[in-house]
Amino acid sequence: MVRAAVLASGEGGRLQAILDAMYFKEIPNFELVAVICPQKGCNAMKRALNAGVPAYVVDPELFPTMTSHSIAVANKLKDMDIELVILAGYDVPLGVIPYQFRNRIIGTFPALYPAFADTEGDIHRAVLERGVKITGATAYFADNDGRVGAIILQKAVDVRPEDTPETLGNRVMEECEWKLLSLAVALYCGGRLSLHGSRVVIEKEK
């Protein structure tokens, strides 16, 4: 079994995608050991507890620096023998965590990376302002800086003429990010992902 932990903030939509995939047994050899949040009482924590998954708070305000906070999170993950770390809207810098869990952190990016990689602010607003016709999301392994590293999966959606940043963002989240995140985790836990340099190869199902 792959012992996994989710780092989550905010509403917890991506976390719910993982919880749903667990419920429907869509992720093989998978044990969600814990959810770690940076703030108490967020919806992500409530979703975890409602699903019977232990949830913990590691509050950045209790640490002198973001580096010391990330060390505390990394130590907690190691104490629980976590193999895989899943990013579910985690809005705190990862700091040292990627060095401790190299090629074992999976997250999503709300565009077809590397498109809009350097965008500051609302990516979906930038997509609309640029007049892009197709956007989507990317599932990836985090690099040593906690950013998008090796790409695992990508999924596209059309940009509609009537879209607003809100409607586009919701569609990318629901049709792309949620599905890609649970699928990427399932592929990892099924032993079907191999890294060749910066390229991820998805092996055929055995």
- Quote the CA–CA distance of 29 and 84 in Å, as a whole number: 12
Local structure of 35: helix, strand or coil: strand
Looking at this protein, which amino acid is placed at residue 16? Q
6 pLDDT tier (thresholds 50, 70, 90):
very high
In the prediction, which pLDDT does 205 show?
Answer: 85
In the prediction, which pLDDT does 159 show?
Answer: 98
- Going from the C-alpha of 21 to that of each of 4, 27, 41, 96, the distances in angstroms are 14, 6, 24, 29
- Quote the CA–CA distance of 198 and 136 in Å, as a whole number: 21
In the prediction, which pLDDT does 52 show?
Answer: 97
In the prediction, which pLDDT does 41 show?
Answer: 87
Instruction: Specify the pTM.
Output: 0.97
Contact at 8 Å (CB) between 29 and 2? yes
In the prediction, which pLDDT does 180 show?
Answer: 98
Tell me the per-residue pLDDT of 75-93, one tens digit each, with 9 for 90 and over.
Answer: 999 999 999 999 999 999 9
Written as six digits, the tokens of 206 are 């055995």
Block residue for tokens 């990376």: 113
Q: Please, which residues have CB within 8 angstroms of residue 158's CB and are 6 or more apart in sequence?
A: 133, 134
Block residue for tokens 């998008």: 148
In the prediction, which pLDDT does 191 show?
Answer: 96
In the prediction, which pLDDT does 137 show?
Answer: 98
DSSP annotation of 36 reads E
Residue 206 has pLDDT above 80, yes or no: no
Tell me the per-residue pLDDT of 178-200, one tens digit each, with 9 for 90 and over.
Answer: 999 999 999 999 999 999 989 99
Block residue for tokens 């023998």: 81
Tell me the per-residue pLDDT of 90-131, one tens digit each, with 9 for 90 and over.
Answer: 999 999 999 999 999 999 999 999 999 999 999 999 999 999
- Quote the CA–CA distance of 134 and 158 in Å, as a whole number: 5
The arithmetic mean of pLDDT across residues 140-157, rounded, is 97
In the prediction, which pLDDT does 46 show?
Answer: 95
Q: Write down the CATH superfamily of domain 2-202.
A: Formyl transferase, N-terminal domain (3.40.50.170)
State the SS3 of 135-180: EEEEEEEECCCCCEEEEEEEEEEECCCCCCHHHHHHHHHHHHHHHH
Regarding predicted confidence, which is higher, 157 or 197?
157
Q: What pairing do the DSSP bridges indicate for beta strands 193-196 and 199-202?
A: antiparallel
Contact at 8 Å (CB) between 189 and 152? no
32 pLDDT tier (thresholds 50, 70, 90):
very high
Domain segments of the chain: what residues?
Answer: 2-202
b (16+ CB within 10 A) / e for 89-126: bbebebbbbbebbeebbbbbbbbbbebbeeeeeebbeb
